[in-house]
Structure formats: structure tokens, C-alpha cells
Structure 1
């Protein structure tokens, strides 16, 4: 049974939300960040990059305190206002490709995360968990929800559809040509129907935000220990989430690019590949695979298709069936000598949402020697891996939707 609750969000005023909302800090180039910081005084980037005010790079605990200061200033200036009633928030995104995403922003339970009601499919790095936990404890808020997915539910869908007939509280379009909408739900009957619907679900799955979830659990443990009157209902017992039905979740692949052939010549590399794959030279025309367990490869100015010789590979778990794992088991580790996918600097990743030509350009620039493409993982694979308590390799999926930071804020 999943516990999902409404909460009192801190939100920008209607007239400023389009100016406040930002992508994640890391997704901007330096030039993009500087332009927004120079010309938009309301951008949420001013909060997460507080050193800009002093023309200085600031990190660590000093930065955390300044983030808190900038956030307080936005509230004092009336840019952010806290809602008076606990609410669920329907969030809708229509992207430039006319894909539509509908979900509910709500508070998900840390206990559910600890008890595996909320299941994960990725490993987290402890040091990153601790850093973000310390950040959250100092600033006292979270502005970027964890993306959770749930089985399609008629009752929830019906309420979302009905509420969306009303005028939205927010409607704004970004420079990426994505249009965002937000509606409040604080009607007692609707809130109960949504809460009960989630309570009847055995499992929710983390689609994106494993470190944020883990850090929220660490923070809860710490604050619980410090609070002698802890009762389990404090806001730190929950974390902000965007819950989206499985049918509307979009999974893209990640391309892999590798800097060298691990001391092998091109011919030696292809001969070793031939043991595991049937190889076809596709020439200079870009090639993308269309089936699981097939890969594209770009090497020395030409594309190749790689078809797995299945008699040489055993599928014992759901993880074995995942192409990102298959590529690691058959090529990246045994042939190219890349054993640590998180830390080896010889490998890099490129979102499959971009064209395969981007992979070609990286290799042609001589920054990398070889590149690999694959078909996206499926939601069924992601769930099966989580159900078996296994974890995907890093950068196995690029998941949409991506929400903007600063539209709804959860305070501890």
C-alpha cells in the first residue's frame, strides 16, 4: 500500500512562473546560464547559483547557506507564496514533438521507500547521497520532484481529465517550445479518491531521481533522531514526487562512445566481436537498430550492425535481457576493458533522444574511437529488474518527462 499525500507547495505567482522555472543547473551550457543570470532576475538559477551575486564560485556548506538566503529573499519579495491548503497538483507537459505527459505532484513516503513499496532499479553512490542530504538539511526545501511511475488507474485518470477542463493555475511555454500546465486539487472528495487509489497500489517505481530519494531517506533518519517529539507526520517523512502513469512514461536509450580500442587494431577488434556477433558493414549511411539485442556501431568512418549470436550468451535474469547490460557483458568489459562504468574516463554517454549523427560527429572528431547505439529499454524491463532487486548499469535510460525546477517547492 503506497502512502501518497497532498502538501502545501511554495509556488511562484502566476505572473512570474515562466520567468522562475528553470531546467536543472547542469543541463545549461555556461553561456546559457550566464545569459539567464544576467537578464532574468527571477530565474530559479539565482537561488541554486548564489555566488553569481558576488561574481564568485562558491561551494560546500557556504553555498548551501547562500542558497537558503536567496530562497528566503524570493519569498520576502513575494515571488514565491506558500499555498494555504494541502493540495495535489496536476502537472501537464506538451513537448515540441506533441508528446503529452500528465501526472500528479504529491508527497511520497520515505517509509515506503525504505520498505520497498517504492522500488528502485539503479544503484546510488553513497558520497552523493550524503552531499545532497546535507544540502537539503541546510536549505530546508526541495524544488525538483522524484519521478515515480504507477500502473494506469481509471479513477486517477478520470479526476485528472475532469480537472483539466478547468482553467489551469499555470500555463507557460519554454524556449524549448514545451508547454507546461498546473492545476491544484484540494477538494476533499477528489483528494480522498486519489489517496485511496494510491493506497490500493502494492508498488510504485522510481523512474528518475534515485539519489534524491536516497538523500531524503537519510535526511529523515537524521531529523528523526534529532527530534525528541517525532511522530511520523513531519514533512521530512515525505519527499516531493511527480507520479505519472506507466503508459505516459517515455524511455530513450543512451549511446555509448569509447575513446580507444584497448590496444587492439581495428581488425583485431572486429575479429573478437565476430565470436559474439554477426557483423554487417552498413557503410557511411547512419544506421540504428530496430530490435532488442541488436546494436549499431560506428567505427573508422563506417556504420556496422551487430546481431547477437545467442548461443554464446545466457539469459538467466531480467538484467541479462537488458541491452545496456548485454553490451557491457559482451563488449565493453571483456574486449574494451571498461569495468567501472561510473568512473572510467574512457567511456562517455550521449542521450538517444539526439540523432545518431551526433554519435558519428563525436567519433569523427577523434575525441572517441568507437560508438554504440541500441534500442530503448522498456517499462516492463525496468519494473522486472526492480522486482528482482537488481540494478541497471548507469545511463541505461534517458527518461521523460523532465519537469522544471522552482514550479512547486516542498519545504521540510
Structure 2
């Protein structure tokens, strides 16, 4: 049974994962490998997390994936200059031969995840090789594309999953029994290890196995859309025909699914509650964050439910007016889509109740960390909208039907650390 959200059916031309010459930090030129890594660009909580990572080491990868300058264009040029300088100084060095990389993550709770990092052929949606399950925001795709053009690099892999439990997974596990290229433990407690696969027989076995499978985008919809845009801009064949990915076989290594929360700027909690009072049931919870999230989980079993925070308390908002939903939620999608919390938020609450455009980054932010979302709302005087995770089977069923979920509906993890292996188009 598929537990990751993608179809068991195969396409005539399945995944093509190609070896590449990885670009990696020279451990002799940086303070520590842990100090130069970062979460993916969209997980870094600005500005606190960004500043902390910049201060951790002058060569931290955030200086490439989230360059800070007077303007976006200046930031991109700064990132390109920084990458060139690190290459010339030997801070980053390329591996001698093309490889696929086995990447392992372990946490203190016993979670173990392994996958393959390589460059995947960028396919068209009609091929059904890579299945998205969320919409994307055009301005983010444009920003990522501009950064990749300027640096001529894939600076961090996106996360894909498939269901295999076959030869490729066997090669991954056999490789992980050897001495790794690198091993480091980051501040979040995760231990990261990396190996390379260069043996032609192993590479051929992996590629033959993957050719029979599809992948689900678990994390990185905007980067995949960026890959597709850049491929269209460059005559084929070119390095832009492929994009950097981490591919995890969830039959052997299941992922965790978490929610992505919303921070509504300029909307005090009192105003948000007043607007929903006659259309939802609202209850104030005088409890801690873990207890409030447990109450949200209970309410979500019965229907749509949200937690609002930012005024020092938690407010459980559930039981929406059915007539309101009938008027505002599009009826041309499957029932599983119409009843998603993210659908109700983006089709009903944001446009019709709170009058907030979802495409305006000055009004709405998407944050993965629950406590950080609440803290920012309290600090800024805005409203945190805390979400309950979508069940895996819902993601799977919608992806099978080709129906995309509202943007930022899910957070699969653990996510790969950025900075362990990069890809440049000029190698």
C-alpha cells in the first residue's frame, strides 16, 4: 500500500537519477561541517534563524541560499560572487568523479532515514514521473530561478519519495555499511552521514530499479517548478535538463508528516476572532502549547479546526457553518480536497472572513516551527493560525487523482540539511 502519496502505477519512462560531481565543503577550511549547514531555505525562520546561521560560521550555506543585500538582484549577485570565491579559495571542492550519494539522517528518538542524492531528469507533468501535491507561489519560483541562474548551481536538494523496497534500497543500505565521506551532528540533534556510489554495477542497478517508479514531491514544490522553468529556458541537452534531489524509498524509510502554520501580519487576534465568531465555534483554551495542540488534534477528527494564537492564549476555532463552506469552497474538486483544513483556510477564512490575499507576503507568512509561529505573532501583534497535519492517505489519494492541495499544506520530514553536497552546472 502506498503511504507516501504517489501512485503505484508506472510511467513508460520512469525516474532517471544521474550521478554528478558533488561540490562539498573542505573540512580543513571551515570551523565544522555542522556550523556551515542550514535547514532548507524556506524553513529558516527570518530574521532570527538567518542571523544565527550567519553568525555560526562565515561560510554557512545561508549566504548562498538566502543572500542578504540591499536588493534581491544585489543579493543574487552577492551569492554568485561568494560561490566563486569559495571555489577559488578551496572552501568548496568538487569530488573527482560523478557519483550518487547515500544520505543518512538519525535523530535522538531513534528515527533513521536514508536516501539517494542525485540529479533527476526534469520531466513534464503529463509524463507522470514526478507528482506534485501542492500549488506553488509564482513569486517564489521566480526568486529561486533568478538565484539558480546567477549562481549556475543547485544549492540544495528537494525531497522526493517513492515506494520501492527493491534493488536501489538494497544498494543504499549496503553502501551505508562502509566508512562515510562525512559525518556531523547539527544543533537540532540530527546526525548526518554521506557516502558516494561510483561503482558502475551499483549505479546501473539503481537506475534500472528506479526506471519503474514514480516519485512524489515531499518537500520542494517551488524548486521543482524552478527546475522546469530553467530547463525550458535552455536548449536541450544541457545541465539544466536535470535537477538536484534527495530520493527516499518510503517503503523502507517512512517520512513524518507535519503541518505548516500561518502568521497573519496586521491582524490582531481579537479582530480575527470577532470576524469568525458567528461562523465558527470559538473556545478559549487556558492551557500550554502541547495541550492546545492535543485539543486541536481531537477537534480535527470531527471536522475542520484551527488554533489561533498571538494574544497570550490559544483559541480553538472549529465547526464552520456548512452554508458558509457551500458558498465559498469550490465544488469541482474531490470531497477529500474540499474538506481539507488548508482548503477552508485559503478558500473561506483568508479571502472572505479576514480579507487577506494569500499571495501577499507582507500579509501572510508560512512557518514550520509551531512555537516560533506563536512567538512571532505575540511579538508582532499578528495572528498565528496553527494547523493540524494532513493524513498521509489523503495526500496519497489526491496525488493519484492529479489534484493539488492548497500551497504549504504539508511538511514532510526530516528534511535534508543544506550544505552537505551541492551541484554546479559548470562541472
TM normalised by structure 2 equals: 0.77
**1:284 equivalenced with 2:294 (yes/no):** no
Q: In angstroms, what is the RMSD of aligned CA positions?
A: 3.4
SS of 2:277's equivalent in the other structure is: helix
**1:7 equivalenced with 2:15 (yes/no):** no
The answer for the alignment partner of 1:389 in structure 2 is: 402
Length, aligned pairs only: 388
Check 1:332–1:261 CA distance in 2 against 1; reply closer, same or farther (3 A cut).
farther
The answer for the alignment partner of 2:241 in structure 1 is: 237
CA deviation map 1:143-190 (0-9, x unaligned): 111111111423222222221111111100112222111011111221
**1:59 equivalenced with 2:66 (yes/no):** no
Q: How does 1:180-259 map to 2 (within 5 A)?
A: 180-201=192-213, 203-224=214-235, 230=236, 232=237, 234-246=238-250, 247-256=253-262, 259=267
Matched-pair contact (CA < 8 Å) for 1:142–1:409 = yes
Q: How does 1:251-400 map to 2 (within 5 A)?
A: 251-256=257-262, 259=267, 266=274, 269-273=276-280, 279=281, 281=283, 283-285=285-287, 286=292, 287-290=295-298, 291-292=300-301, 293-298=303-308, 301=313, 303-304=315-316, 306-307=318-319, 316-329=334-347, 331-338=349-356, 340-343=357-360, 347-351=364-368, 353-354=369-370, 367-368=381-382, 372-400=385-413
What is the CA–CA distance in structure 2 between the aligned matches of 1:298 and 1:175, rounded to whole Å? 29
CA shift for structure 1 position 104: 0.8
Which of residues 405, 409, 414 in structure 2 aligns to 1:401?
414
What is the CA–CA distance in structure 2 between the aligned matches of 1:71 and 1:363, rounded to whole Å? 35
- Structure with higher Rg: it is 1
CA shift for structure 1 position 381: 2.2
Q: Which runs of 5+ in 2 are unaligned?
A: 1-13
CA shift for structure 1 position 214: 1.8
What is the CA–CA distance in structure 2 between the aligned matches of 1:44 and 1:359, rounded to whole Å? 24
Q: Which runs of 5+ in 1 are unaligned?
A: 52-56, 225-229, 274-278
**Superposition misfits of 4+ residues, deviation over 6 angstroms:** 261-265, 308-315, 362-366
Comparing 183-192 and 210-219, the one that deviates more: 210-219
TM normalised by structure 1 equals: 0.80
What is the CA–CA distance in structure 2 between the aligned matches of 1:284 and 1:262, rounded to whole Å? 16
The answer for the alignment partner of 1:40 in structure 2 is: 57
Matched-pair contact (CA < 8 Å) for 1:114–1:217 = no
Matched-pair contact (CA < 8 Å) for 1:96–1:177 = yes
